[in-house]
Structures are given as C-alpha cells and as structure tokens.
Amino acid sequence: MQEVGAFVIFFASIFTSNILLTNFLGMCSYLSVSREIRTAWGLGIAVVFVMTITSVANYFVYYYMLVPLQLEYLEYIAFIIVIAALVQVVEMIIERTSDRLYASLGIFLPLITVNCAVLGAALFLIIRKYDFYQSLAYGAGSGIGWMLAIMALAGIRAKMARRSKVIPALEGPGIVLIVTGIIALGFIGFSGIVQIN
C-alpha cells in the first residue's frame, strides 16, 4: 500500500469509504446519541480525538511489540486494552486541564471504549498494511467521517422531531435507518473521486 498517499487515505476515509456509512461500524452509539445536535457534536469530537490517538498507538503496539514477539494472534486483546487505557488517560488529562471540555466530553468518553468504530479502524489499518503516516491519516479521517455522519443525522432528526409526522411503527430506529440509508446513497456520489479498497 506504499503507493497510496496519506492525504488520499485521509479524504477517502471521510467520504468514499466512510467507516459508518460503508462499513457499518459504530452503529450503536450512532443510533442512540443522535437525538440532539449538541450531544452528537460532543461525541463526534471525542471520537475524532480518541480514534486518531488509538490508531497511532495501535500501530506502534502491533509493529513494535506484537510482531517482534510473534504474538500477532493477541492483537484483539492488545487493541482492546490499549483503547480502554488510552480512553482513561485522555479522560484524566481532560479532567485536570480543562473543566469546560470535561463537562462537554466527560460522559461520552467511557462510551467510546466499546465503540466498534475505534477497534474497527485499528483492525483495518493492520489488514491493509498501512505505514505510520497512512495510519495517522486513516484514524483521523475515519473519526471525522464518523462525526460528519452523526452530525448530519442529528440535524435531520432535530428537524424531523419538530415538523414531520412519522408512522408510529417506524418511529425511532426504523426511520433513522431509512434516513441513514439515504445519507449513504448520497455519499455514494463521492465514490470515484478517490479510491481505496
């Protein structure tokens, strides 16, 4: 994968292979925390933050710890622990340094430990054999792409709650899934601009 530039990967992971809209990762929190724009924004920022850091950390853990020791099969356990530990560290740093940031992000950080998208990004960058800069770009891009998707959905849901009458049986997850499908269709329009597999 040397021939693909980090910049291309960054854009591709936001638009053409959005981690939520094409890989279905991070659906649980996407469905449950998208009722208001403000909370969606908070969670989105937290995901971008954590995903960028954990992608880089997992890159180093995999290539500098697991590969030399020939323990690649432990990657799942190692990644989970790295993600959980980093989320804790980030939480503590934010708590000490910025009260305002902690008040807005604090409740979301523990949720991220079990967000499939964070683990998924780590597994994808190993499977696709990205180098350091590509991993950094992929982590940041996937986080931003996820944030974009949840913000778009939160905006639509906020409007929908005020103006639209939804069939009772479709209310909640049903209509959200249909809206997501339409957003995903829109994102297919981006494909062909840049391509990663």
Contacts with other proteins, residue ranges (CB under 8 A): 21-28, 31, 73-77, 80-81, 84, 113-117, 119-120, 123-124, 127, 167-170, 173-175, 177-178, 180-182, 184-185, 188
Residue type, 26: G
CA distances from residue 4 to 23, 40, 62, 124, 168 in whole angstroms, order as listed: 20, 32, 21, 15, 47
Whichever of 101 and 114 has its CB closer to other proteins, that residue is 114
Whichever of 40 and 104 has its CB closer to other proteins, that residue is 40
The CB-of-100 to other proteins minimum distance in angstroms stands at 27
What is the distance between the alpha carbons of residues 127 and 51, in angstroms, rounded to a whole number? 17
> Which residue from 137, 46, 36 is spatially nearest to 86, judged by alpha carbons?
46
What is the distance between the alpha carbons of residues 1 and 182, in angstroms, rounded to a whole number? 32
The CB-of-98 to other proteins minimum distance in angstroms stands at 26
Whichever of 53 and 126 has its CB closer to other proteins, that residue is 126
